[in-house]
Amino acid sequence: MEKPTVRMVAAVPVATVWTTPASPREMDRPAIENPADLTGWLQAMGYEDRLQLCEANLVQTQVLYGSLVEAIEEEAGWLKVVIPSQPSKKDGRGYPGWMPKCQLLEASGFAANPDQPTAVVTSSAARLYNKEGEPGITLSFLTRLPVISQSDEWIEVATPTGPQLLKQSDAAVYLTERDIPIGTGKQIVEAGKRFLGLPYLWGGMSSFGYDCSGFAYNMHLANGMVIPRDASDQAKQGKAVERQELQPGDLLFFAYEEGKGAVHHVGIYAGDDMMLHSPKTGKTIELLRLSGSAYEVELCAARRYW
């Protein structure tokens, strides 16, 4: 029998979801506190430190400010959660992992309703302001918050800690989440191109850093589509596409053993034999010619979600 869940929301701009409560290292403290210092954490990590997030299986994924999670277990200041908005074969309820309790608040006082107006951050990063116009935390691209009211310059939004203000220029407002338009394949590519040069981050799900599948997931989300969180799951859904039929916005999947083994990478086909992707630790989001690249021999599948 599944344990009863408690609905919680992320109370920091980007909350990292860890493999176990013992996963964070001393250097990760800025990422597990509240307030969190994501920028300071990322800047302090060297290449080997970032690589260890993956190779030591420390990090699972991330969630943005105000995102709903369901807590299913508690252990010494940590909560085991599932993330309904991130589909995964790991748990039918949503992506699983552990989060510091201090970065979560019960959703009873704040719960995004898909039937009410929603503000979606469209800038790569956006400040929240208090009612006096003083700047507060910086939000990631695609952060979603319920709308309370609007003026020519400001959007008043509900947040886990009370009403705050977003600049109109930093967000788009939709009457309901169902009104978020479904984009085209070309629009998926255009959404991704704005992040060219952004450093890769294992488990990354924000405009502070994406991993390969997080990048694919979020560029689809920016165009009104929810796809699975991980590349191995993404490769099994959507519509299968042959290489000669590829169109911009299709997802390309790569597997070990020259395409015969396990899926380990995903990129977005950008047209004209080009791929847009977040490669690996130490690299940045780039446009790469597929033919003649090391990836070409590993290409194992292509899928279309748009």
Residue positions annotated with a catalytic role: 212, 265, 277
Q: What is the helix, strand, coil percentage profile of the chain, to 5?
A: 20, 35, 40
Amino acid identity of 135? P
- Terminal CA-to-CA distance of the chain, rounded, Å? 37
- CB neighbours of 73 closer than 8 A, spacing ≥ 6? 3, 79, 80
Contact present, 186 and 249 (Cβ < 8 Å)? yes
Contacts made by residues 153-156, CB under 8 angstroms, sequence distance 24+? 154/129, 155/119
Tokens of 254: 């790569």
In this structure, the strands spanning 299-304 and 251-255 are: antiparallel
| C-beta atoms surrounding 161 within 10 Å | 14
- CB neighbours of 43 closer than 8 A, spacing ≥ 6? none
Closest C-alpha among 230, 246, 237 to residue 291: 246
